[in-house]
Structure 1
Amino acid sequence: MPRTRPGRAKKRTLTFAALGLAPVLLAGGVAVGGTGWIQSTGISLRADAPLTLTGHGHGHGRGMGQWGAYGYAKQGWKADKILRHYYGNTTAGKVDNPDVTVSLSEKQSVSVRADAGAKVGGQTVAPGQAVSLSGGNATITQGCGGAMVKTVSAQWVEPVNPAPNRPVDELLTFCGGGDKYRGALGLTGDGVSNKLHVDDYVKGVIPKESVPGWADSGGFEALKAQAVAARSYVLAGLASGRKMNNTQQSQVYHGASGEDPRTNRAADATAGQVRLRNGKPALTEFSASTGGYTAGGEFPAVIDDGDKVSPTHTWTATVSPASVASAFGVGAFRSFEVIEANGLGAGSGRVVKARIVGSNRTVEATGEEVRGKLQLKSGWFSIAGQKSMPKIVKPPMGPAAPGGGLGDFLDLSPLTALLSGSVPDLSALGLSDLSAVTGQLTPIIEQMIAVGTGALSAKQVALARSDNWQGSTGTVSRERSDNANGSTGTVDRNLTRGDNSQGSTGTVAKPELVTDGQGMHGLVQVLANGIIYYSPATGAQALFGQALTDFLNGGGLEVLGFPKADALD
């Protein structure tokens, strides 16, 4: 997964006004647009004039933005919230197969020692002895390059204790250079490889893929998020049959020699934690900086307000027409323009397609292809002086096939009972409590928001941000304590006004856009026996029975704001 470490110069809060609401549980969709559309300036591009590009972000922009995670951490976001934001169609989970194997691309041979000794081919290697592997055999010597002690059949050299988080004297150390590695080292079909517990592996990844110093400036939760993302990514890659190495093609990994105490704390604090999709680790890609909006793809595209702290949030680059023509092999330069973009974020958003015209031929290339050939920081850029506005093309949202519905890539089955208007049979679902159900609502709602096919009008957006929203049949006002029938705990019909009411057929009410007393925007989904409250900050929480009555009698959203936990009674 090529990308650039966020700390090298070369190298959401989600709002309904910006994103809209989507079908199924939500209504409406993404409001295509943004700020700063390319305008006609009357300037024409000359064949000999330098081209000025204005861009945003650094890297492919898919999944988590590392600078954005840091920005959100400084705002007080916890790692779980950061991960839910960037990986919207995933849930939190734990590792069930903790061992990983990665190839060490720069290593040509295995000749190692350990101060505490080691094991090889069922033999004990004493402290001070070394082991060299070659042709399926292991040679034990008196120290590195010393006299031979014995030769045994073996492919791997193992530490004296294979458990994770072992002390430094048990780590295998290369005789040449002194690089230290946790776990076992061996020769495989992929060359020199390191087999170890995934938590140990993550410790060698985070300081190379992120910035340890963030822990000293309010960004420790970002490092924890990076640990979970790195853990999920390698497990998902290996499960899918990918060959994982220690470079940017996978994840940069320098073993124990590259560790930092601050990032080790982040790895330990999240031990075993991963992001799951359909019960399996998700391929949690990440990049240095999203520029303010993620790219979509495997995960829903979301606003990345945390990225404002990134040094590459906005950048400019100057390229010569000749270099553009040469990079794409079109002959003498004629023109270069963005013809399709995704419409998400500043300008026209990320480039979907650009056209390069020369004297010999015309080439159309993706934004990522342009980024690579022109060595730009990202594929999100605009060309100064371009007179035409690019066509807006929505990015793919998730792994569904084109035209596929949400059910093609979202497992809604655990939510069926809840959305039908009754408290679900938790034992039948294999879940321990209600939060296990509603906890799955947040990524699903956020996915629906991102996938929405409609569009909120400017009037609807403005009204959604105010205290009241004028729906098609009447005004949906803030909740009041008189919307509950006190002693019985029954939700009054006034709570679900107009076409949003719960009819005699048991049809689930449509969601309502609301604003709480603190100015936070979200939605309310009324069920037959309860209400689901959702806001970007609190996620989806369900209130039933007396708990709902007490909430409403206490002033509801007007006074108490969006609930932060589920409650049955």
Structure 2
Amino acid sequence: MRLGISVVLISAFVAAGAGSARAGTALIVTGHGWGHGVGMSQWGAYGYALHGWKYHRILSHYYPGTRFGRIGEVRVRVALARGANVVTIGCATPMRVTDGRRLTRKLPAGVYGIGPKLALPVGRRGMGLSFGHLAVFDCARAPLTADGRAYHGTLTVRSDGRHVSVVNSLSLDTYLRGVVPSESPSHWPLAALEAQAVAARSYAISELRPDSWYDLLPTTSDQVYGGVAAESPSSDKAVYATLGQVLTWDGQVARTYYSSSSGGRTEAVQDAWPGSAPIPYLRSVPDPYDTYSPHHDWGPFASSATQLAARLGLGSAIDSVSVERNEGWRVESVTFRLTSGAVVTRTGARVARALHLLSTWFSIGELRLSTSSTRVLYGSRVNVVVRAANVKGAVLQQQSGTGAWRTLRQVTRPAQLRVQPLANTAFRLMLPGTSG
């Protein structure tokens, strides 16, 4: 996030009488993109759509070598809640509820709190009845609600005796009506929404879990699914314009991962998730229109060498940093040389998690300000040494006798200035747009 402010990163004070000169180091983190970066970049697709690309061309770019295919009607099961103590199920019109033995009873309109006993006021005179371990709710004239959110299809409440879970079962394309506008803003160009619809449909098919009690999660763990409230006419149009369309590879529906912003180049699947086998259509490709993303570039964020080491659990302050990158420019590993003499190597993913970075495409730069002597006598000269590594835009400033600061130079490489302080003075390194 760029804040448009200037922050004092490090400073050195030089006294004109016998005194001390202090040094400091700041580590600067910058990066690109948001998410794993595999497959389609949603912001990149938006950019391509603005430049006149149709959804077929967009998808062929992000998933090279795939073909378009069609599938028939499919139902999916979305786990809306897992391991809850209680859930609420409701409908504005009368419902039907079916137990595990397929016995169906009517339930008046309303909202019902349901715990592990699955007890509901059905039957003669509205007496309570337990539905065992399974209750399937269906409402023909209005959407059902689960914990206040509306959904098409049916809702199944499952009990393990201590907790309850809720599954929404519905047709794939009805499900996509709640996914497409949740994943890509509904005001985006139609081609971008159509690309999102085909990618989301293909992903859902590739992730079906017939041996489990659900297929998909409604979060970024799979795809964000907002139910009825998320639907919009423009995204509905994209879903129905691409009805049944999927991407295929070697006769199978492709696993079409996607993420928000690639930072300018997508990531190969085996690099994003070490141990994964390479997949030909999930390789790294250029993504020039990702520049539309507000997260195409992020940072800089500043920390002292001690602060950053503490956040990473390194034990002592960082002296220097080096990184290894993969084809998609993400960081595979970071090697930290510490002031204690130890050398510690961490994966890029581990560093990104510890620092709460948006992606593994990041850099750790260095700004260093020091003086040649720790004791400075009146009238003697002292060297002010500055260093900038993997940092852009840093400036060296000096404080005048009036307290005002003036810029001496922009720091783009190691440099040395020789000064003869006749009065107390101070130097500082500044980096515009920095957040600590």
TM-score (norm 2): 0.65
2:193 to 223, 233, 243: 223
**Residues 1:310 and 2:293 aligned together:** yes
Deviation at 1:235, TM superposition (A): 2.3
Contact kept? 2:26, 2:366, Cα under 8 Å: no
For residues 75-224 of structure 1, what are the structure 2 equivalents within 5 Å?
75-96=51-72, 98-105=74-81, 108-121=85-98, 122-123=103-104, 125=106, 128=109, 139-141=120-122, 147-148=126-127, 155-160=134-139, 169-174=141-146, 178-188=148-158, 191-214=165-188, 219-224=189-194
Which deviations, in whole Å up to 9, do the C-alpha atoms of 1:193-233 show, x marking residues without a partner?
2122111222222222221222xxxx221111112222222
Deviation at 1:66, TM superposition (A): 0.6
Tell me the residue number matched to 1:57.
33
Structure 2 Cα separation of the partners of residues 134 and 368 of structure 1? 39
Q: Is the alpha carbon distance of 1:89 and 1:336 closer, same or farther for their aligned partners in structure 2, counting shifts above 3 Å?
A: farther
Indicate the structure whose relative CO is greater, using CA pairs within 8 Å and at least 6 residues apart.
Answer: 2
Contact kept? 1:172, 1:180, Cα under 8 Å: yes
**Residues 1:234 and 2:204 aligned together:** yes
Deviation at 1:86, TM superposition (A): 0.8
For residues 526-545 of structure 1, what are the structure 2 equivalents within 5 Å?
none
Tell me the residue number matched to 2:336.
356
Q: Is the alpha carbon distance of 1:49 and 1:141 closer, same or farther for their aligned partners in structure 2, counting shifts above 3 Å?
A: farther
Larger radius of gyration: 2
Letter of the 1:114 counterpart? C
Tell me the residue number matched to 1:301.
284
Deviation at 1:132, TM superposition (A): 6.2
1:278 to 223, 245, 250: 250
TM-score (norm 1): 0.51
Q: Is the alpha carbon distance of 1:385 and 1:343 closer, same or farther for their aligned partners in structure 2, counting shifts above 3 Å?
A: farther
Deviation at 1:352, TM superposition (A): 1.9
* Gap runs ≥5 in structure 1: 1-8, 11-45, 162-168, 390-569
Structure 2 Cα separation of the partners of residues 136 and 371 of structure 1? 43
For residues 397-476 of structure 1, what are the structure 2 equivalents within 5 Å?
none
Q: Is the alpha carbon distance of 1:263 and 1:245 closer, same or farther for their aligned partners in structure 2, counting shifts above 3 Å?
A: same
Structure 1 Cα separation of the partners of residues 239 and 317 of structure 2? 51
Structure 1 vs Structure 2 CA RMSD: 3.3
Count of matched residue pairs = 326
Q: Is the alpha carbon distance of 1:138 and 1:266 closer, same or farther for their aligned partners in structure 2, counting shifts above 3 Å?
A: farther
Letter of the 1:367 counterpart? G
SS of residue in 1 equivalent to 2:332: strand
Q: Is the alpha carbon distance of 1:311 and 1:220 closer, same or farther for their aligned partners in structure 2, counting shifts above 3 Å?
A: same
- Of Structure 1 and Structure 2, the greater helix share is in 1
Structure 2 Cα separation of the partners of residues 249 and 47 of structure 1? 45
SS of residue in 2 equivalent to 1:50: strand
Contact kept? 2:32, 2:361, Cα under 8 Å: yes
For residues 488-507 of structure 1, what are the structure 2 equivalents within 5 Å?
none
Structure 2 Cα separation of the partners of residues 152 and 375 of structure 1? 44
Deviation at 1:302, TM superposition (A): 0.7
Tell me the residue number matched to 2:314.
330
Sequence identity (%):
36
Q: Is the alpha carbon distance of 1:240 and 1:130 closer, same or farther for their aligned partners in structure 2, counting shifts above 3 Å?
A: closer
Letter of the 1:53 counterpart? V
Deviation at 1:153, TM superposition (A): 6.0
Which deviations, in whole Å up to 9, do the C-alpha atoms of 1:481-536 show, x marking residues without a partner?
xxxxxxxxxxxxxxxxxxxxxxxxxxxxxxxxxxxxxxxxxxxxxxxxxxxxxxxx
SS of residue in 1 equivalent to 2:345: strand
* Gap runs ≥5 in structure 2: 3-21, 270-278, 368-387, 391-436
Letter of the 1:194 counterpart? N
- Of Structure 1 and Structure 2, the greater strand share is in 2
Contact kept? 1:132, 1:138, Cα under 8 Å: no
The 10-residue stretch of structure 1 (318-327 or 74-83) with the greater mean CA deviation from structure 2:
318-327
Deviation at 1:293, TM superposition (A): 0.7
Which deviations, in whole Å up to 9, do the C-alpha atoms of 1:249-273 show, x marking residues without a partner?
2222222123233222222222222
